[in-house]
Amino acid sequence: MGAAAGGLAVAEALRRKDYRGRLIVVGAERHPPYDRPPLSKQVLAGVWEGERTHLRSQDDLAKLGVEFLLGDPATGLDATAREVRTASGRVLRAQTVVLATGLAALRLPGQDDLTGVHVLRTLDDALALRRNLTAIDRLVVVGEGVLGAEIAATARGMGLDVTLAGLGHTVMADQLGDLVGRTLTLLHADRGVRLRLGIAAQALTGADGRVTGVRLASGEWLPAEAVVVAVGSRPDLGWLDGSGLALGDGVECDSHCRAAEGVYAVGDMASWHHEGLGRRLRLENRTNAVEQAQIVAANILGENRPYVPIPYFWTDQYDVKIQVHGVPTRDAQVDVIEGAPEESRFVARYSVGGQVTGVLGWNMAKAARLHRQNLIGTFTSA
């Protein structure tokens, strides 16, 4: 269930492992499997047409021997019977069900009543935002996380007047801590983004059904012709109510990504027990979806492997490429171990209680990858 990177990767890995049985992939959207990371960058900037995000050609998909049921959102699951229901009324029964329906974007109150207010989760969202941005001059992005920061950078690159507002005191501090957060904040300021950080967005303002700006808790009003709401997302779990599965911060799985007998979860929605860290983890990134899919495919075929990755994600903002290995956290001690932030080239090491928990490269991809080996102990079970 789910026809994005994770769902497709499970199907492909099963075929690579010589599974010859029937495979059905159900997707909520009408598009064939496509890639999300380019949506906030190449697609939004107009450098790529929408089709270029498609993960496989029609030919490659046909060769897989998979039935794709697209444009038909899942509406219910009976985990014991392994029976899935969809919006169009389909009822599918299977030996194994893989849940990979991803995330839903959070919204601000009242945003659906105003035109010019966007979220960016799907290809259609990205194309709609692109159309809007080419027709306006002034954008406000609410949310200083990775998505908001990338959208602000792309919109600046398009020549728009951009304000980035968010609750955090620096850009991406929640994910990357204050040292990198400060460096990112300086980067955005240097490229001409107006920053309003550490302040809650209180309300969207509108006139005649169209957004006119954002009111902040400080009382300041930010005028805007369009607003992007990038305040985070939550696993899309609504359709799993009554499924019999444990739902917490995602679909709760064991260390083998199994949610119940014959039911697995993959990608952004899967909360699984990481045996190396000794705790539950849920990751919202592209690499995880595909790596987890390899393990799930193996376990469906009886290999019984725990999923113990060293997480990885990247973000591109302006000409800066940031690579993140491990799990950096706000509370970690952060040391610059190569280069320097002032030189726009450095590697930062995150540690908690003397254990290295993360490595970040800022325009130093290879060096960061070489330091990744210091994470192996932390992410490997004893």
End-to-end, the C-alpha distance of the chain in Å comes to: 34
Q: Are 129 and 118 within 8 A, CB to CB?
A: yes
Region from 149-157, 222-230, 300-308, 359-367 binding another protein, contact rule CB under 8 A: 359-367
Under rule CB under 8 A, how many of the chain's residues touch another protein? 26
* CA 139/CA 378 separation, integer angstroms: 42
Q: How far apart are CA 135 and CA 104, in angstroms?
A: 27
323 touches another protein by CB under 8 A:
yes
CB-nearer residue toward another protein: 84 or 126: 126
Smallest gap, in angstroms, from Cβ of residue 339 to another protein?
12
Q: Which two tokens stand for residue 122?
A: 């799907």
Nearest-approach distance from CB 279 to another protein, in angstroms: 24
Residue 294 touching another protein (CB under 8 A): yes
> Would you count residue 22 as binding another protein (CB under 8 A)?
no
User: Is residue 123 part of the contact set for another protein (CB under 8 A)?
Assistant: no
For position 144 contacting another protein by CB under 8 A, the verdict is: no
Q: Does 291 bind another protein (CB under 8 A)?
A: yes
Binding of residue 9 to another protein (CB under 8 A): yes
Nearer to another protein, 239 or 346 (CB): 346
* Ramachandran angles phi, psi of 140, nearest 5°: -115, 130
The residue within the footprint of another protein, chosen from 273, 364, 371, 374 (CB under 8 A), is 364
- Altogether, the residues listed in the chain come to a count of 382
CA geometry: angle 382, 312, 258, nearest 5 deg: 60
Query: In this chain, which of 29, 254, 275, 316 binds another protein, going by CB under 8 A?
Result: 316
312 touches another protein by CB under 8 A: yes
Minimal CA–CA distance to 224: which of 116, 164, 138? 138
Nearest to 266 by CA among 226, 309, 225: 309
Sorted by sequence, the CB contacts under 8 Å of residue 274 that are 6+ apart come out as 255, 280, 281, 307, 308, 309, 379
Contact flag: residue 286 with another protein (CB under 8 A): yes
Q: Looking at 81-89, 121-129, 200-208, 365-373, which segment touches another protein (CB under 8 A)?
A: 365-373
Whose Cβ is closer to another protein: residue 255's or residue 363's?
Answer: 363
Q: What does the DSSP 8-state code read for residue 310?
A: -
H or E element that contains 248: strand 247-248
Q: Is 34 in the site for another protein (CB under 8 A)?
A: no
69 scored as a contact of another protein (CB under 8 A): no
Q: Alpha-carbon distance 361 to 339, whole Å? A: 10
191 C-beta neighbours (distance < 10 Å), count: 16
Amino acid at 332: A
Asked whether position 210 contacts another protein by CB under 8 A, the answer is: no
Contact between 101 and another protein per CB under 8 A: no
Binding residues (CB under 8 A) for another protein: these are: 9, 12-13, 16, 35, 37, 55, 286-287, 290-291, 294, 312, 314, 316, 321, 323, 361, 363-369, 372
